[in-house]
Amino acid sequence: MSVDLSDIKREFTKFLKRKNMKVTQSRLNLIDLIAKYGKHFEVEELVNWIATQGDRSVSRSTIYRTIKLLQEFGVIKEVIKQNNRTIYEFVAGKAHHDHLVCMECGKIIEFVNEDIEKLQDEVCKEYDFQPTHHRLEIFGVCSECRNSDLT
Amino acid sequence: MSVDLSDIKREFTKFLKRKNMKVTQSRLNLIDLIAKYGKHFEVEELVNWIATQGDRSVSRSTIYRTIKLLQEFGVIKEVIKQNNRTIYEFVAGKAHHDHLVCMECGKIIEFVNEDIEKLQDEVCKEYDFQPTHHRLEIFGVCSECRNSDLT
DNA sequence: ATGAGTGCAAAGTATTTGCACGTAC
DNA sequence: GTACGTGCAAATACTTTGCACTCAT
């Protein structure tokens, strides 16, 4: 793990105080739990997994509420919106990246392309649009699935 | 309107026949209705608007079912996924484009950038990934909203 | 004539919310 | 001590589905 969770929790504490919100165990625990989960997740999946983690458990409502805060804080992003599913990622300490999504096996491939980012900035300038965030999803079929499809 | 609806309906008819599905009034009507609606839409919004269109009415279930077919056929796309909303667009006859979404006024700006498309193809080649479609959403604040925000 | 399509209402998901109780400050 | 946060269960919003009837073929 490239990022120090203590740092994140310390910054999140400041973030909460700035907003005059309370620094609760649930809120801090959820950071640990999501980091421990360690992969892309859907909320329901996370809720169920957290239920298996003994103590430090956090309820569904609080998970939903805290995920919103963590998105605002910036350590979590909705990276894939497919059908009616939302897949989140813990992005703390990671460079911005986008995703290839295999529609057969569900695999998610992350990629970084600075040129695409630059071109987006140009588009925004052209329309005098101030971007806050973006999401690029490329859906298709990964090479493994194509190769195993030779049935 | 740059595209001939009759052509689209003729092609959709072929599409349905190829799939051994029936060419029903509801299915053809929905194409007319969506074209007449003429802008980006959410399903619920479309359902309510269609209910005001007198005859040619189509039920919510059939709208949902037919939208899936029209997506497969390619004349409709889910272009924006924001929070838990899905915004569709009737794309028949339009060049592929992506979107800037103003989070203050909800305005949707379409843009075309061939270079971004090319770079995406390169990324896919690099990962030996066969893309079927993609979606690039840039969220932010449009210039009008920034100017009126001088409060 | 027959089976796929439609409309309705009910069921299923995902997410949000009201409220009583607990906890940070 | 007070107000915000939490957990629960209920409510909401969106979408899908079972079924009886209708219509395209």
pLDDT tens digits for range B20-79: 999 999 999 999 999 999 999 999 999 999 999 887 889 999 999 999 999 999 999 999
Report chain B's mean pLDDT, rounded to a whole number: 95
Q: Is the distance from CB of B28 to CB of B17 less than 8 angstroms?
A: no
Bridge partners of B141?
A130
**Whether B60 and B13 share a structural domain:** yes
Share above pLDDT 90 across residues of chain B, in percent, rounded to a whole number: 90
Q: Is the distance from CB of B17 to CB of B27 less than 8 angstroms?
A: no
Note whether A128 contacts B111, CB cutoff 8 Å.
no
- Distance CA(A70)–CA(A34), nearest Å, equals 11
Q: Please name the residues in contact with B71: beta carbons below 8 A apart, sequence gap of 6 or more.
A: B77, B78
**Whether B29 and B64 share a structural domain:** yes
Nucleotides on strand C lying under 7 Å from protein C-beta:
3-9, 13-18, 23-25
Last residue of a domain, one of A94, A111, A139: A94
The Cα-based distances of B67 to A1, A112, A146, B27, B46 in angstroms read 43, 33, 28, 9, 11
Q: Is the confidence at residue B85, as pLDDT, over 80?
A: yes
Write down the H helix ranges in B19-100.
25-37, 43-51, 60-73
- Which of helix, strand or coil describes residue B114? helix
**A·B CB contacts under 8 A:** 112
Q: How many other CB atoms sit within 10 Å of the CB of residue B126?
A: 11
Look up the CATH number of the domain holding residue B131. 3.30.1490.190
- Distance CA(A40)–CA(A88), nearest Å, equals 6
**Whether A131 and A148 share a structural domain:** yes
**Whether A112 and A135 share a structural domain:** yes
Look up the CATH number of the domain holding residue A55. 1.10.10.10
Number of separate domains in chain B: 2
Name the pTM for this structure.
0.93
**Whether B65 and B121 share a structural domain:** no
Give B140's contacts in chain A (Cβ within 8 Å).
124, 129-133
* DSSP result, A53-110: S-TT---HHHHHHHHHHHHHHTSEEEEEEETTEEEEEE-TTPPP-EEEEETTT--EEE
Structure tokens at A146: 């194509």
pLDDT tens digits for range A28-86: 999 999 999 999 999 999 999 999 988 788 999 999 999 999 999 999 999 999 999 99
Note whether B136 contacts A134, CB cutoff 8 Å.
yes
**Whether B89 and B103 share a structural domain:** no
Last residue of a domain, one of A56, A76, A94: A94
Distance from CA of A121 to the nearest CA of B (A): 10
- Distance CA(B61)–CA(B146), nearest Å, equals 40
Q: Which residue of A has its CA nearest to B129?
A: A142
In A18-37, which positions are buried (b, 16+ CB within 10 angstroms) versus exposed (e)? eeeeeeeebbbbbbebbbee
Structure tokens at B18: 């190829």
pLDDT tens digits for range A10-20: 999 999 999 99
**Whether B51 and B113 share a structural domain:** no
Note whether A139 contacts B134, CB cutoff 8 Å.
yes
Pick from A79, A98, A76: nearest CA to A87: A79
Model confidence band, residue A1 (pLDDT cutoffs 50, 70, 90):
low
Residue with tokens 């896919």: B124
**Whether B102 and B87 share a structural domain:** no
Bridge partners of B138?
A134, B100
Select the residue from B138, B139, B141, B145 to test the A interface by mutation, using most A Cβ atoms within 10 A.
B138
Model confidence band, residue B105 (pLDDT cutoffs 50, 70, 90):
very high
Distance from CA of B67 to the nearest CA of A (A): 13
- pLDDT for the residue numbered A56: 84
**Whether B82 and B111 share a structural domain:** no
Last residue of a domain, one of A59, A75, A94: A94
**Whether A85 and A113 share a structural domain:** no
Give B115's contacts in chain A (Cβ within 8 Å).
115, 119
**Range of A136's domain?**
95-151
Q: Please name the residues in contact with B58: beta carbons below 8 A apart, sequence gap of 6 or more.
A: B26, B29, B30, B33, B50, B66
**Whether B71 and B125 share a structural domain:** no
- Looking at residue B96, the DSSP 8-state letter turns out to be P
- Distance CA(B86)–CA(B93), nearest Å, equals 21
- Distance CA(A90)–CA(A40), nearest Å, equals 7
Structure tokens at A129: 């649009």
**Whether A74 and A87 share a structural domain:** yes
